[in-house]
Amino acid sequence: MREIAKKRKISYNAVYYSLHRTAQTGSHRSIHSPEDLHALSLTLVMIGKMDVTGAFGFLYLYGTERFPTVVYNMALGATSMATRIGSTVSPYIAYMVMYNKILPYMLMGATTVITGVLNFLLPETKGEELPEMINQVKP
């Protein structure tokens, strides 16, 4: 089976996630009462949880492999700290509903699209030997 490069997998995941967020936004617009289409809403939430789990897998795989082995643990700690910043800020995003019901979904979707576009700027690591020492890192 032919493998897809990691950079493409990350970008495809980001595009899929942003399309999912768009579908959630559309479902909130079409639902007139909370009882309408409850199964659809629950399904979209569970797919969203699956998306987040997939994003963490990509983060830990790709985010650390660009660093040499000697600083691998520090790189893993830095990416974990960045995710904790997002976890700290995310509850406040829910309060944006007071201004507009779809604003949190638009914000999350926009940041995901930006992430997907920025992933294309990252170097590809498929078939490349990873550095073991700091002096082996290419600029």
Q: Does pLDDT of 48 surpass 80? A: no
Reported as type and span, the H/E element at residue 132 is none
pLDDT band for 1, please (50, 70, 90 cuts): very low
Q: What is the mean pLDDT of residues 73-97?
A: 85
pTM: 0.56
Q: Which long-range contacts (CB under 8 A, 24 or more apart) does 118-126 make?
A: 119/7, 119/10, 119/11, 119/14, 120/7, 120/11, 122/7, 122/10, 122/62, 122/66, 123/7, 123/66, 124/5, 124/6, 124/7, 125/6, 125/7, 125/62, 125/65, 125/66, 126/3, 126/5, 126/6, 126/7
pLDDT per position as a tens digit, 91-136: 888 888 888 888 887 787 777 777 777 777 777 777 777 777 777 7
